[in-house]
Amino acid sequence: MAEKTDPPVILGHNLWGTLTHHFGSDLHHHDVADGPDRIYMDYNATTPVDPEVVRVVTDALTEAWGNPSSNYLPGLKARDIIYHSRDTIARMVGGKAADIIFTSGGTEVTARVEVEDVIAAIRPTTSLVSIMLANNETGIIMPIKDICQRVREVNKQRAASAPKILLHTDAAQAIGKIRVDAHELGVDYITIVGHKFYGPRIGALFVNDPGTTTPVYPLFFGGGQEHNFRPGTENTAMIAGLGKAAELVSSNLAEYEAHFLDIRCYLEQKLLAVFGRDKIRYNSHFPGSDILPNTCNVSILGRGLQGRRVLSTCRRLLASVGAACHSDRGDQPSHILLNCGIPYHVATNALRISVGRSTSHEDVDIVVEDLRDTVEQLERMN
């Protein structure tokens, strides 16, 4: 595995996210932006809302508009929808309904880590370890289960006066792509983000038996909603949509995962066939590390082939060079890639291509041809 240049991130985490309720629209990936000739392959940034989710949201807006705390029919309908969604989301991550607290979204903070680095970074005052389950740029899946086992050993050895170390993982990129089970992983908290798995832009926090086994404290105060952990009248329609998106994941995960892997492998094979091994560098292929089935972080080597320049020249491909929330960094290479030991000139040329449920082999053929034409054009200009 590549040598890291920075220590792992062990920190408090913004569990509540940002205040956004917009939920997108029912679009095929070819129609996401700039007309039907564009092919969207940036599903790690956001996904279109599944048509079944749109239907559920629309039904909730029209039929369950009442306050869930009220006892008349529209309020009772809203309350039932929220309970059903809470239960569905909990089952998706191996929990129970009482473990789910609805939030407005989720935020990603962390880099690629190794188990021994995490354990070595623990201090006597450490009370929380927070690590993303899968990195949004490289797709590398973190060894969360192993980290949790080691942290439990540390907790057993700690003095009674020392705080128990709790474990949180941001599963935004993992849910809907690989199996996520809180109890198998051994975590206390999981961040769930709807717009990463074809749901609305709303989130949820899994807490293992909140307030009893696992502490959780409110950031806001007012009414008693969400068991007093997050007051405010519930956003019934978005919660309904999140529940439906979770139901689709629970029912179809094996199919989704197999499709993602097939398309990603086909993409990587086509890139190698067209550009050759001397010109292609895959930035997620590290011995002993698993990666998300849908994510390809690749650099096309050569002068003047910076990732942003390539994407701005492409006629068909819609992708990104890294995390959408860090898109203001100009041509600076990703610190994630640099920390993974990727050379600067390789990281500068990186493209993050992430495929979705409807991405086809034909889409891949078109995108690789587009990249070939773009690279030839840029090389002539150089």
- 8 A C-beta contact, residue 41 and residue 353: yes
pLDDT reported for residue 161: 80
Q: What Å distances lie between residue 2 and 9, 337, 369, CA to CA?
A: 17, 10, 31
Q: The tokens 């983000």 sit on which residue?
A: 193
Does 308 or 110 have the greater pLDDT score? 308
- pLDDT band with cut points at 50, 70 and 90 for residue 4: very low
Structure tokens at 122: 């623990």
pLDDT reported for residue 13: 30
Those residues whose C-beta lies under 8 Å from the C-beta of residue 207, and which sit 6 or more positions away, are 99, 100, 101, 188, 189, 214, 216
pLDDT reported for residue 162: 85
175 by DSSP, 3-state: which? strand
- pLDDT band with cut points at 50, 70 and 90 for residue 140: very high
Q: What Å distances lie between residue 212 and 81, 92, 96, 160, 168, CA to CA?
A: 26, 22, 14, 18, 16
Angstrom distance (rounded) from CA 43 to CA 344: 25
Q: What is the pTM of this model?
A: 0.84
Which one, of 282, 26, 341, 20, lies nearest residue 139 by Cα?
A: 282
What values do phi and psi take at 239, rounded to 5? -65, -40
Angstrom distance (rounded) from CA 170 to CA 192: 7
- DSSP code at position 48: P
pLDDT reported for residue 160: 82
pLDDT reported for residue 224: 60
- 8 A C-beta contact, residue 169 and residue 130: yes
Those residues whose C-beta lies under 8 Å from the C-beta of residue 361, and which sit 6 or more positions away, are 263, 266
- DSSP code at position 97: G
Q: Is the pLDDT of residue 119 over 80?
A: yes
Neighbours of 379 (CB within 10 A): 12
pLDDT in tens, 266-286: 999 999 999 999 999 999 998
Helix (H) or strand (E) holding 131: strand 128-132
pLDDT reported for residue 70: 85
Q: Average pLDDT over the chain, rounded to whole?
A: 86
Q: What Å distances lie between residue 242 and 85, 330, 376, CA to CA?
A: 7, 34, 44
Q: Is the pLDDT of residue 47 over 90?
A: yes
Helix axis angle for 73-92 and 236-275, nearest 10°, is 30
Angstrom distance (rounded) from CA 145 to CA 147: 5
Angstrom distance (rounded) from CA 151 to CA 181: 18
Structural domains of the chain in order of their starting residue, each with its CATH number = 253-381 (3.90.1150.10)
pLDDT reported for residue 288: 85
pLDDT in tens, 351-366: 999 999 999 999 999 9
pLDDT reported for residue 127: 92
Structure tokens at 29: 């990936």
- 8 A C-beta contact, residue 138 and residue 110: no
Which one, of 1, 286, 290, 258, lies nearest residue 141 by Cα?
A: 290
- pLDDT band with cut points at 50, 70 and 90 for residue 221: low
Question: What amino acid positions are annotated as catalytic residues?
Answer: 325
- pLDDT band with cut points at 50, 70 and 90 for residue 226: low
pLDDT reported for residue 11: 27
- pLDDT band with cut points at 50, 70 and 90 for residue 228: low
Which one, of 276, 264, 263, 265, lies nearest residue 375 by Cα?
A: 276
- pLDDT band with cut points at 50, 70 and 90 for residue 169: very high
Does 162 or 120 have the greater pLDDT score? 120
